[in-house]
Amino acid sequence: MLIEDLMREITSIWQTDELRRHKPTPVDEARAGLNIVEQSLWKAIPHYLRRVSNALKKHTGKPLPLTCTPIKFGSWMGGDRDGNPNVTAKVTRDVSLLSRWMAIDLYIREVDSLRFELSMNQCNDRLSRLAHEILEKGVGCLAETSSEDLHESRNQSLSRSQFKLHGQQAPSLPTQLPARADLPACTDYNDGGSQYPKLEFPRTDYMPLSRQDGQGSSSSEISSKDSSENLRKLLANGSVSNSNGSQSAVTPRGSFSSGQLLAQRKLFAESQIGRSSFHKLLEPSSSLRPGIAPYRIVLGDVKEKLMKTRRRLELLLEDLPCEYDPWDYYETTDQLLEPLLLCYESLQSCGAGILADGRLADLIRRVVAFGMVLMKLDLRQESGRHAETLDAITRYLDMGTYSEWDEEKKLEFLTKELKGKRPLVPPTIEVAPDVKEVLDTFRVAAELGSDSLGAYVISMASNASDVLAVELLQKDARLAVSGELGRPCPGGTLRVVPLFETVKDLRGAGSVIRKLLSIDWYREHIIKNHNGHQEVMVGYSDSGKDAGRFTAAWELYKAQEDVVAACNEFGIKVTLFHGRGGSIGRGGGPTYLAIQSQPPGSVMGTLRSTEQGEMVQAKFGLPQTAIRQLEIYTTAVLLATLRPPQPPREQKWCNLMEEISKISCQNYRSTVYENPDFLAYFHEATPQAELGFLNIGSRPTRRKASTGIGHLRAIPWVFAWTQTRFVLPAWLGVGAGLKGVCEKGHTEDLKAMYKEWPFFQSTIDLIEMVLGKADFPIAKHYDEVLVSESRRELGAELRRELMMTEKYVLVVSGHEKLSENNRSLRRLIESRLPYLNPMNMLQVEVLRRLRCDDDNKQLRDALQITINGIAAGMRNTG
């Protein structure tokens, strides 16, 4: 049987297309992320929290509180519009609602399993009272469900009936029931009685339908659509519209209370449809109700509300009318937690704590960790787009052009508008499509609120006005949406997070935060709406592409120190958000090592970090792997908080870092940005141009239509060099910097820095790891076959620099060969070489042929398969 299972698996893989033929949409990407939650994180979170709780109890005597979680998840999929025209306001709204739908669907499954498990009768008084309240309102709910079922059935049967398909005219509705229609079919009625006993049959006497003028109507022509609609209204509120729009009344004989009317509708529905409601079949008969477990009654009510919540979300996703009583569905996490915690307390008080701490505790922990949205969606947009939007607004209002003002004038204008009470953007404003999309995004953000969305990240932030511009656009949208709907926006304001990416912006990050917090309005806003908590994001990808890996690492370290100091000056708590990629060139690497190498004080009990691309699957794709990864995060943050890493022992070390960084940056930029041959060499030596064929993401490879390195995204920049096994972005410039300092007699200082300074040690270790993955002969083969003869000398020069970098990294670390302190990694790399090397040889040959025959689809497919294979073998590709 195992052999057959294996054969089936291999057959399935063999006959599955190895390539994605169409580019995924942002919604496709979001669904893939939600699948990771459903298949892995949903199972991992309860186990992880249980282990954290057990460890805390063992060491402190107190477990983790049930409604506390040290970790939360967010997502950029469907929210990151930075240079991605495919992410629109509608996409963001749909992805957010889809995430909510998935959360509710998962909760329904868990509550179903829980109902089966909690069959006991004994409970505390509070739960007993709640169960009785639910039972008392159950009859009315059942009747309404029956009427809904009837409507669905009639709607389907009438709208899809054969006479409609054949274009025939629909028969008219009868104005009253035929004679003797209320009698059972098993008897012939006559005044003289019957040989069969007369059966009692539920009936309702209805007056004939009549027009407004009181004239009886023997026939009227109503379409099948009208028929089903009228029948729905008939069951819902006792009135029906004729096709001409006039109202007809259906008046039952006698007067009924609302409860009796519901019962009448139920009986009428059952008599007409000839069956019981589906929900009634699932419910126990009334004679059994007293013996039902109260937990099942309460959880049954929870399930019913969850199902109505799910249905409401489906209607919203389909842009259909959605009128639900707020009491019928769950909007917030607390609403769902309340009955679950009541069940938990009841079980604990009745001596069933072992049950309470099982599946029920797991569900409560999931609700706390995932909330009603699974992952809150972060929005991201480039700062220039906000400036363009304000330009359009100020020009429309004859105030001038916003982007032409100096920083002080911008801040004065923004602060004044933020303190005002009126909206800034007129409803009648006509703007360009790009500006309209920005305004629409803020409108959707106002409608969804912070219950569904996380942070608004401003990429390429460089000034305090960049943050206040977003705050103003957000406030304006909230005022407009609130006024239009006549009620406040559902969720709170989004926290606005500046993202400092380039070396220049990183150097100014601290002063920008100081300027922001010195503005009274902003500081009060942070304290009032965000609990005195400022989030600041630092980018590893663009800083690395801008100045090289070593300089980027040092500038990031200094920027974090400065931002933390700025927030401390104003008594504001700070969370640093690390925008790491999968590769070393984009700040990737082992999580524990990365967190432990942060500046002292930068991880004060809180940290955010991105996991991108293939790393999401690698770290969270399997439940056990996910649990381990979450434990690593928790351990590293705890240690960095309780036992912060050591700062540099003496100022001399910082001076040496500055010198290494300066030499490294000059070497890197002189090669990448100042050498006129480098761009052409890059295109020839790597499959960068061909990466566009890969349908691996919805985002274009470039921010703008330019062929230069500057506008190329960091991912394809790193990805292309990883394919050739040269991994140039991770080490270029490092060797020159280390060599320059060593030649000045500071070799022993560098060795001491490596041993005693965690930041310097982790930086060198990560570079050493990536050098272990670089392959000199393979990179040389790419040059010999693909690069034109006039540029091969540049390749040879870069390979010499690779050898020099390897030499000086080993000198500083004191290792005899690369990855000496990580033998398991070395074994992994060596075990992959028999697979990687042939794929690289194939890729070179396919690239050579494809560049002579660009339209050859078979060659293009072969190239993409080699790209996927090499990426899988190299692991952290970009």
Predicted confidence band at 711 (pLDDT cuts at 50, 70, 90)?
A: low
Average pLDDT estimate for 141-160: 42
- The CA distance from 545 to 710, in Å, is 8
- The CA distance from 798 to 788, in Å, is 16
**pLDDT for residue 223:** 40
Residues 6+ apart with CB under 8 A from 789: none
Q: Name the average pLDDT for the chain.
A: 81
Report, in angstroms and rounded to the nearest whole number, the Rg of the chain calculated over CA atoms: 34
Predicted confidence band at 701 (pLDDT cuts at 50, 70, 90)?
A: low
**pLDDT for residue 479:** 82
**pLDDT for residue 209:** 39
Q: pLDDT tens digits, residue range 638-673?
A: 988 888 888 898 999 999 999 999 999 999 999 999
User: 96 with 453: CB under 8 angstroms?
Assistant: yes
Q: pLDDT tens digits, residue range 494-527?
A: 999 999 988 999 999 999 999 999 999 999 999 9
**pLDDT for residue 596:** 74
User: 34 with 98: CB under 8 angstroms?
Assistant: yes
- The CA distance from 556 to 540, in Å, is 8
Buried b / exposed e along 729-753 (16+ C-beta atoms within 10 A): bbbbbbbbbbbbbbeeebeebbeeb
**pLDDT for residue 766:** 86
Q: How many CB atoms lie within 10 A of CB 666?
A: 18
Give the percent of the chain with pLDDT over 90.
53
**pLDDT for residue 825:** 78
**pLDDT for residue 215:** 40
Q: pLDDT tens digits, residue range 170-210?
A: 445 556 656 655 555 444 434 444 444 444 444 444 333 33
Single-letter amino acid, residue 721 = W
> Per the residue annotation, which of 43, 545, 558, 773 is the catalytic one?
545
Single-letter amino acid, residue 597 = S
**pLDDT for residue 94:** 93
Residue 486 has pLDDT above 70, yes or no: no
Longest distance between any two alpha carbons in the chain, whole Å: 124
Query: What would the DSSP string read from start to end of 332-382?
Result: SHHHHHHHHHHHHHHHHHTT-HHHIIIIIHHHHHHHHHHTTTSSEEEEEEE
In this structure, of 240-244, 659-663, 839-843, the range with the lowest mean pLDDT score is 240-244
Average pLDDT estimate for 287-316: 84
Residue 247 has pLDDT above 90, yes or no: no
Phi-psi label, residue 387: left if phi above 0, alpha if psi -120 to 50, beta otherwise:
alpha
Q: What are phi and psi of 247, to 5 degrees?
A: -85, 140
- What is the SS3 assignment for 538? strand
Nearest to 100, CA basis, from 260, 338, 306 = 306
- What is the SS3 assignment for 176? coil
Q: What are phi and psi of 579, to 5 degrees?
A: -90, 75
Nearest to 429, CA basis, from 380, 368, 473 = 473
Query: What would the DSSP string read from start to end of 675-728?
Result: -TTHHHHHHHHSSTGGGGG----SS-SBSSS--SSTTB-HHHHHHHHHHTT--H
Single-letter amino acid, residue 786 = L
In this structure, of 345-349, 436-440, 576-580, 649-653, the range with the lowest mean pLDDT score is 576-580
- The CA distance from 140 to 646, in Å, is 67
Predicted confidence band at 161 (pLDDT cuts at 50, 70, 90)?
A: very low
Q: pLDDT tens digits, residue range 67-115?
A: 999 999 999 899 998 878 889 999 999 999 999 999 999 999 999 999 9
Average pLDDT estimate for 669-688: 92
Average pLDDT estimate for 348-356: 92
Q: How many CB atoms lie within 10 A of CB 82?
A: 21
Give the percent of the chain with pLDDT over 70.
78
**pLDDT for residue 226:** 43
Residue 545 has pLDDT above 60, yes or no: yes
Nearest to 538, CA basis, from 485, 574, 570, 491 = 574
Half-sphere exposure for 343 (CA within 13 Å, toward CB): 33
Going from the C-alpha of 478 to that of each of 374, 415, 421, 446, 483, the distances in angstroms are 24, 17, 11, 5, 8
Single-letter amino acid, residue 72 = K
Burial zone of 626 (CB within 10 Å; 0-12 exposed, 13-18 middle, 19+ buried)? buried
Q: Is the pTM value of this prediction over 0.85?
A: no
Average pLDDT estimate for 523-535: 94
Residue 692 has pLDDT above 80, yes or no: no
Predicted confidence band at 542 (pLDDT cuts at 50, 70, 90)?
A: confident
Residues 6+ apart with CB under 8 A from 524: none
- The CA distance from 282 to 259, in Å, is 22
Burial zone of 170 (CB within 10 Å; 0-12 exposed, 13-18 middle, 19+ buried)? middle
**pLDDT for residue 148:** 42
Active site residue 755: no
Residue 753 has pLDDT above 80, yes or no: yes
Query: What would the DSSP string read from start to end of 43-61?
Result: HHHHHHHHHHHHHHHHHHS
Average pLDDT estimate for 520-538: 94
Helix (H) or strand (E) holding 839: helix 823-850
Buried b / exposed e along 639-655 (16+ C-beta atoms within 10 A): ebeeebbeebeeeebee
- The CA distance from 86 to 29, in Å, is 12
**pLDDT for residue 585:** 56
Query: Can you count the helices (H) and strands (E) in the chain?
Result: 37, 9
Helix (H) or strand (E) holding 791: none
Higher pLDDT, 59 or 275: 59
User: 580 with 588: CB under 8 angstroms?
Assistant: yes
Residue 439 has pLDDT above 90, yes or no: yes
Residue 843 has pLDDT above 90, yes or no: yes
Phi-psi label, residue 214: left if phi above 0, alpha if psi -120 to 50, beta otherwise:
left
User: 525 with 563: CB under 8 angstroms?
Assistant: no
Average pLDDT estimate for 723-729: 91
Helical spans, DSSP H, in 183-257: 224-237
Residues 6+ apart with CB under 8 A from 375: 33, 34, 37, 73, 74, 75, 99
Give the rounded distance of the alpha carbon of 535 from its chain centre: 18
Higher pLDDT, 366 or 284: 366
Predicted confidence band at 824 (pLDDT cuts at 50, 70, 90)?
A: confident
User: 728 with 719: CB under 8 angstroms?
Assistant: no
Q: What are phi and psi of 252, to 5 degrees?
A: -65, 150
Burial zone of 253 (CB within 10 Å; 0-12 exposed, 13-18 middle, 19+ buried)? exposed
Query: What would the DSSP string read from start to end of 92-147?
Result: HHHHHHHHHHHHHHHHHHHHHHHHHH-------HHHHHHHHHHHHTHHHHHHHHHH
Going from the C-alpha of 165 to that of each of 155, 228, 877, the distances in angstroms are 15, 16, 57
Highest mean pLDDT (candidates 109-118, 286-295, 810-819): 109-118
User: 556 with 540: CB under 8 angstroms?
Assistant: yes
Inter-axis angle of helices 792-813 and 678-685, nearest 10: 90
